[in-house]
Amino acid sequence: MKLGIDWQKLPEATTRGPMASLDHVQEMGLAGIFFPTVLDMSPTLDRGFLKELRAKADAMGLYLEAGLGKINPYCSAEAPELRAAGNGDILAGLTRMIEIAAEIGLHELWISPGNFKGQFPGRLANDRFRTDIDWADQLAAMEKIMHRLAPALRDHGSHMNMETHDEITSFEILRLIEAVGDDVTGAVLDTANGLQRGEHPVWAARRLAPYVRQTHIKDAYVARAPGGLDFQGRACGEGIVDFAAILPILVEANPQLNLSLEMAASCDDKPRAANPRQCIQINDPVWRAVHPDLTAEEYEAYMQMVDVYEERIARGAIENWETYESRNYGYPSYANQSYRYAEARAYIRRSADHIMAVSAEVGIRLELPEPDYA
C-alpha cells in the first residue's frame, strides 16, 4: 500500500500545477496523488502531457489516480467542464476521459453523486434533501448514466468507483454496484463522509471492502450540538475514526489499495471560510425518514462511538468545535501566506504520521519516500 494525497487538498496545487505537484508530494514524504478528475490533470485532455505526467510519476515511484467527476445529471449544470469535454455531449466527454485515462494506465476512476453546499444549513447542504427532486429519482438517474458508461468501461478494463460522498449511503452504493455490475463499478471509501449519513465508519468499511478500489482517508469531529451533531474535519488521529480497525479490513480485501489523504486544510489556493458549521440532524424525523437502511444496532454503535469521543473532548484531549474553528480558520492578522502554507503542511504531516503509525501497529507495510522536513 502507498500513502498519498488528494490533489485538491495539497497546498499550492493549482499554482504549482500537476507536474510540479509530483515533486511537492515526494518532498513531503508522500507516495502519490489522487486527481479528482482526468481534467484536473489536463483541462484539455492533452495526451502528450498526460503521458509525460505518467512517465514522471512512474520514474519517481509515485502512484497516480483520477476520476470522471459528478455523475448526477441533476447536478450537471454545476460541472460545465464535463459537458465541454464532449463538445456539448456529457456522455461523450465522460467516455473520452475513460479512453484517455486507460491510455496512461488509469483504470480506477472516481465518481461522485452530488455537490456539498456548505453555505446552507443542516441537511439542506447536500443534494439528498433537495425539494425539487427526490433522492430516489436522483439515484435512478445516476444508475442510468452508469449503465450508459458501462460498455466503454468494459472495453478498457476500467471501473467507475462511487465515493461514499456526503449525500449517499454505503447501502445505496452496494445497490448501484449490484445493478450495474461489479466488473465496471466499485467504491471509493471516504473514511469520514459516512458519518454524515449516520453510518459507523468501521461498519461501512466492512460492507464495502470487497468493492473498495480507491480511498479518501480523513477524520472528523462528531459531537452533540443544537439540532443534532456537529461534523468538522480534523487531522487523522484527532477525530472519531478508528483507523486501526479500518485499515486491516481494507488491506485484507485489496492489498494493492492506495490510501489518499483528503483533509479540510485551508490554504491560499483553496481557502476555507470560517465557521462552516455542518450539522448532522440525526434526530430529525425528516432526516431519519430518508435513511431507511440505518438499523437500530448501527445507530446504537454510532452513538456509543460519539460518547467515547465526547469523553476525550471533556477531558481536554480533543479541542471542542469552537476552539478548533477559531484557531484554524479565524486567522489572526499576522497569518500571512507563508503561515497558512506552513499550517496546511503541518495538518497533512500529522495525518500522514498517524496513518503511518497505525499501519505499523497493525502490521501493514506502507511504501513511502523519505520525507524532507525542510
Q: Tell me the average confidence (pLDDT) per consecutive run of 10 residues in the chain, 374 residues long.
A: 94 94 96 97 98 97 97 92 93 97 98 87 87 96 98 98 97 98 98 97 98 98 96 95 98 97 77 75 93 97 98 96 80 61 90 97 86 47
Coil vs helix vs strand at 199? coil
Domain that holds residue 137: 3-220+233-272+334-361
Report the C-alpha gap between 79 and 40 in whole angstroms.
Answer: 13
What is residue 268's predicted lDDT score, i.e. its pLDDT?
Answer: 73
Is residue 113 one of the residues assigned to a domain? yes
Is residue 128 one of the residues assigned to a domain? yes
Report the C-alpha gap between 102 and 92 in whole angstroms.
Answer: 15
Domain count, the chain: 1
What is residue 124's predicted lDDT score, i.e. its pLDDT?
Answer: 85
Q: What is the CATH number of the domain that holds 98?
A: 3.20.20.150
Is residue 53 one of the residues assigned to a domain? yes
Is residue 279 one of the residues assigned to a domain? no
Is residue 366 one of the residues assigned to a domain? no
Long-range CB contacts (within 8 A, 24+) of 57-62: 57/22, 57/32, 57/33, 60/22, 60/26, 60/369, 61/31, 61/367, 61/369, 62/2, 62/4, 62/22, 62/25, 62/26, 62/31, 62/32, 62/33
What is residue 374's predicted lDDT score, i.e. its pLDDT?
Answer: 42
Percent of the chain with pLDDT over 90: 83
Beta bridge partners of 65: 34
Characterize the bridge pairing of strands 63-70 and 228-234. unpaired
Is residue 314 one of the residues assigned to a domain? no
Beta bridge partners of 160: 109, 185
User: How many of the other CB atoms lie within 10 Å of CB of 48?
Assistant: 8
Q: Where are the alpha helices (DSSP H) in 28-120?
A: 38-41, 47-60, 80-85, 90-103
End-to-end C-alpha distance for the chain, whole angstroms: 26
pLDDT digits (tens, 9 = 90+) for 134-191: 999 999 999 999 999 999 999 999 999 999 999 999 999 999 999 999 999 999 999 9
Is residue 120 one of the residues assigned to a domain? yes
Contact 30, 2 (CB under 8 A): no
Is residue 291 one of the residues assigned to a domain? no
Contact 215, 257 (CB under 8 A): yes
Q: Starting from the edge strand earliest in sequence, which strands make up the sheet with 212-216, in order?
A: 212-216, 185-190, 159-163, 108-112, 63-70, 32-34, 3-6, 259-261
| DSSP character string of 101-152 | HHHTT--EEEEES----TTS-GGGGSGGG-SSS-HHHHHHHHHHHHHHHHHH
